[in-house]
């Protein structure tokens, strides 16, 4: 039985409210110039009481305290709303933490690091080693310190093993090129993680790896990593199953059922009690999933195999703690396959995403899904992108497929499909994507996931103050669409992100600690250095001065030329840059 955490109740209330005002999943229409901009002088404006729009839901106690404070301090004057003002935590825009009740999903980030080597004379790439990285997102790190410590240790282990292998790849690449320089192929090793389960019972991820060290062909396969969220200890198969021989018999039968005609030439060595601890598996929300690389059960030509042992019907075999699952969660496609119950019978079906592509250009033109052997495809062909990243998202009894697509100029967007009950219908498309971060030397990259669809950080492209990224925190609504916790978006900052005003700019001071007092009309002089902070991406932007104070100013970002304070941005700022 699924249990809903308290934040899910809050999300439902927010969604109902948004439906009542006709703005479900859309930006608030309250925008434009704040009332304080119409005051006759800066002195009068400074005396006005300014109501700041909260950027995130607060706990009931906080809301009551804030309401009584505003009532006593601002009852003498009409409040003026400043759209988009953030008053939340240190990480801009993250909703206030909600107490979790019962089992609930965890917010996980995945990533990778890369080690490369070039030929000293030709600068040809000789080898590339990509290793995985795993962490909890900020909102769950503090509440799960043992788990976070274990994930950090595992990530260090991944990197150490990769660096130890570098000497071998360097020597092997050099030897391979000396033997046949004309047909030399770069050597590589890569492992990328997929989150299969992340809640209070288990964090289970699968590393899909591939490598080529020379010879006739490379190798590929899977590594399973499961952790106890309370202790951080790695979970073994004997922690999950109480009868190993019975499990092995069940796996053998399931493999032969799902892969009729498979030779099973190696099964007698792999499916033994002595080798059980080497089985690669993941703990799903509705089943145990076992992954077999080529040669593990059959020949290389017969490929890899993945099978699912459902919880339902195996209550005496599998540890019952794993049957308790949250109401909202996300499942990534490890090895191209995910397992989830689509028709409500309690038995998860094998689900895979298929794409129709132009083979000459590698362009994705259609997206489809295969559920238990039944394939559904979009009706029309169109340009969609060059790569895709799918996630299944459970929202109560509804199931959605999120597909992040990468298009030209690395623009990313989501196609969202309703797959509840085995159907396949598009319910939304938006220009959001997983939020990504890079290390200073760009050797490490990480991204958010939908492991907890009640709270996920997302990016969007923006041209406000130049081409860049903006982010906010979202949840997946009952209709499958992403809903922003904030009214707008926080602008990402890059190395040379400060702009210089070419001319004076009239702005309005915001934030309670602003040196001019909130709501005060201020003129920023030409030559002032400013950085972007917050925007609705349509009608206003907040900027910061070198002292860290925030200022609101109206803008027009719907069509070119884009303007701030009624002035074209190119005429107003020095240092502004656009892509393309």
Tokens of 358: 């132009």
State the DSSP H helix or E strand holding residue 316, giving kind and residue range, or none if neither.
Answer: none
> Which residue, among 213, 167, 224, has the nearest Cα to 190 in the 3D structure?
213
Residues contacting 281, CB < 8 A, separation 6+: 224, 226, 237, 240, 288, 289, 290, 291
The β-bridge relationship of strands 287-292 and 305-310 is antiparallel
Task: Please work out, in degrees rounded to the nearest 5, the angle formed at the alpha carbon of residue 537 by the alpha carbons of 400 and 495.
Answer: 100
Tell me which residue has tokens 């340009």.
383
> Which residue, among 383, 392, 334, 393, has the nearest Cα to 355 in the 3D structure?
383
The three-state secondary structure class of 312 is: coil
Residues contacting 69, CB < 8 A, separation 6+: none
For position 11, what pLDDT does the model report?
42
> Which residue, among 569, 515, 398, 536, has the nearest Cα to 470 in the 3D structure?
536
Tell me which residue has tokens 């925007």.
535
Q: Tell me the C-alpha distance between 203 and 302, whole Å.
A: 31
- How does 277-313 read in b/e, with b if 16+ C-beta sit within 10 Å? eebbbbbbbbbbbbbbbbbbbbeeebebbbbbbbbee
Q: Tell me the C-alpha distance between 508 and 487, whole Å.
A: 18
For position 96, what pLDDT does the model report?
58
Q: Tell me the C-alpha distance between 328 and 351, whole Å.
A: 18
> Which residue, among 352, 348, 356, 283, has the nearest Cα to 320 in the 3D structure?
283
Classify 157 in phi/psi space as left (phi over 0), alpha (psi -120 to 50) or beta.
alpha
For position 497, what pLDDT does the model report?
65
**Alpha-carbon dihedral sign for residues 309, 315, 320, 326:** positive
Q: Tell me the C-alpha distance between 4 and 334, whole Å.
A: 26
**Alpha-carbon dihedral sign for residues 346, 350, 356, 362:** positive
- pTM greater than 0.75 (yes/no): yes
Q: Tell me the C-alpha distance between 420 and 417, whole Å.
A: 9
Q: Tell me the C-alpha distance between 138 and 143, whole Å.
A: 10
For position 81, what pLDDT does the model report?
43
For position 419, what pLDDT does the model report?
95
CA 225 to chain centre: 19
Domain chopping of the chain, boundaries = 6-94+493-574, 333-453
Q: Tell me the C-alpha distance between 535 and 541, whole Å.
A: 4
For position 28, what pLDDT does the model report?
34
For position 108, what pLDDT does the model report?
98
**Residues forming beta bridges with residue 567, ordered by sequence position:** 564
CB atoms within 10 A of CB 367: 23
Among the residues of 485-533, which ranges form H helices?
Answer: none
State the DSSP H helix or E strand holding residue 257, giving kind and residue range, or none if neither.
Answer: helix 244-258
How confident is the prediction along the chain (580 residues), in pLDDT tens digits per residue?
Answer: 333 333 443 444 444 344 343 333 333 333 333 333 333 333 333 333 232 222 322 233 333 333 333 333 233 222 334 444 443 334 555 665 555 556 899 999 999 999 999 998 888 999 999 999 999 999 899 999 999 999 999 999 999 999 999 999 999 999 999 998 888 999 999 999 999 999 999 999 999 999 999 988 999 999 999 999 999 999 999 999 999 999 999 999 999 999 999 999 999 999 999 999 999 999 999 999 999 999 999 999 999 999 999 999 999 999 999 999 999 999 999 989 999 999 889 999 999 998 988 767 778 999 999 998 899 998 888 888 899 999 999 999 999 999 999 988 778 999 999 999 988 999 999 999 999 988 877 789 999 999 999 999 999 999 999 988 999 999 999 999 999 999 999 998 654 468 999 999 999 999 767 788 889 999 999 999 999 999 999 999 999 998 889 999 999 999 999 999 999 999 999 988 887 6
In degrees and rounded to multiples of 5, residue 476 shows phi and psi of -90, 120
For position 580, what pLDDT does the model report?
62
The three-state secondary structure class of 341 is: coil
For position 253, what pLDDT does the model report?
97
> Which residue, among 319, 23, 291, 5, has the nearest Cα to 143 in the 3D structure?
5
Q: Tell me the C-alpha distance between 238 and 323, whole Å.
A: 16
State the DSSP H helix or E strand holding residue 512, giving kind and residue range, or none if neither.
Answer: none
For position 71, what pLDDT does the model report?
37
Tokens of 196: 């299969």
> Which residue, among 220, 307, 302, has the nearest Cα to 266 in the 3D structure?
302
């Amino acid at each position: 039985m699924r249990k809903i955490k308290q934040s899910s109740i809050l999300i439902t209330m927010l969604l109902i409210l948004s439906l009542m005002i006709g703005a479900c999943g859309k930006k608030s229409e309250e925008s434009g110039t704040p009332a304080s901009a119409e005051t006759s002088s800066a002195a009068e404006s400074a005396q006005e009481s300014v109501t700041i729009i909260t950027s995130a839901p607060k706990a009931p106690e906080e809301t009551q305290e804030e309401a009584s404070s505003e009532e006593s301090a601002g009852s003498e004057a009409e409040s003026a709303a400043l759209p988009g003002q953030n008053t939340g935590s240190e990480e801009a825009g993250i909703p206030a933490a909600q107490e979790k009740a019962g089992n609930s999903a965890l917010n996980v980030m995945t990533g990778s690091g890369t080690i490369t080597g070039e030929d000293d004379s030709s600068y040809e790439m000789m080898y590339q080693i990509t290793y995985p990285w795993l962490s909890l997102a900020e909102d769950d790190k503090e509440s799960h310190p043992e788990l976070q410590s274990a994930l950090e240790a595992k990530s260090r282990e991944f990197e150490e093993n990769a660096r130890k292998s570098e000497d071998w790849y360097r020597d092997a690449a050099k030897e391979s090129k000396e033997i046949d320089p004309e047909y030399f192929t770069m050597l590589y090793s890569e492992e990328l993680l997929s989150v299969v389960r992340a809640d209070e019972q288990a964090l289970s991820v699968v590393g899909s790896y591939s490598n080529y060290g020379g010879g006739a062909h490379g190798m590929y396969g899977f590594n399973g990593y499961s952790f106890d969220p309370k202790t951080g200890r790695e979970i073994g198969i004997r922690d999950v199953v109480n009868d190993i021989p019975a499990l092995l018999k069940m796996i053998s039968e399931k493999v032969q059922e799902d892969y009729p005609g498979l030779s099973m030439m190696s099964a007698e060595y792999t499916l033994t009690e002595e080798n059980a601890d080497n089985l690669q598996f993941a703990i799903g929300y509705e089943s145990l999933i076992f992954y077999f690389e080529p040669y593990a059960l059959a020949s290389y030509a017969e490929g890899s195999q993945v099978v699912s042992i459902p919880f339902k019907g195996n209550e005496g075999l599998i540890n019952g703690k794993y049957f308790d699952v949250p109401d909202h969660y996300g499942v990534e496609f490890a090895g191209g396959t995910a397992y989830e119950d689509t028709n409500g019978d309690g038995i998860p079906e094998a689900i895979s995403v298929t794409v129709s592509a132009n083979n000459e250009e590698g362009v994705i033109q259609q997206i489809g899904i295969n559920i238990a052997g039944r394939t559904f495809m979009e009706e029309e062909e169109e340009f969609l992108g060059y790569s895709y990243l799918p996630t299944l998202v459970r929202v109560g009894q509804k199931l959605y497929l999120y597909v992040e697509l990468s298009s030209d100029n690395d623009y990313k967007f989501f196609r969202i499909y309703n797959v509840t009950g085995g159907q396949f219908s598009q319910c939304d498309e938006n220009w959001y994507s997983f939020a990504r971060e890079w290390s200073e030397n760009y050797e490490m990259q990480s991204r958010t996931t939908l492991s907890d669809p009640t709270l996920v950080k997302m990016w969007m492209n923006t041209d406000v103050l130049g081409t860049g990224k903006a982010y906010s925190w979202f949840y997946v609504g009952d209709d499958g669409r992403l809903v922003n916790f904030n009214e707008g978006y926080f602008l990402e900052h890059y190395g040379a992100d400060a702009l210089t005003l070419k001319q004076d700019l009239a702005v309005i001071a915001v934030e309670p600690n602003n040196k001019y007092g909130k709501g005060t009309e201020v003129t920023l002089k030409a030559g002032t250095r400013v950085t972007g902070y917050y925007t609705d991406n349509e009608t206003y932007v907040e900027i910061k001065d070198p002292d860290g104070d925030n200022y609101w100013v109206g803008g027009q970002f719907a069509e070119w030329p884009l303007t701030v304070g009624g002035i074209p941005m190119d005429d107003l700022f020095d240092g502004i840059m656009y892509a393309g």
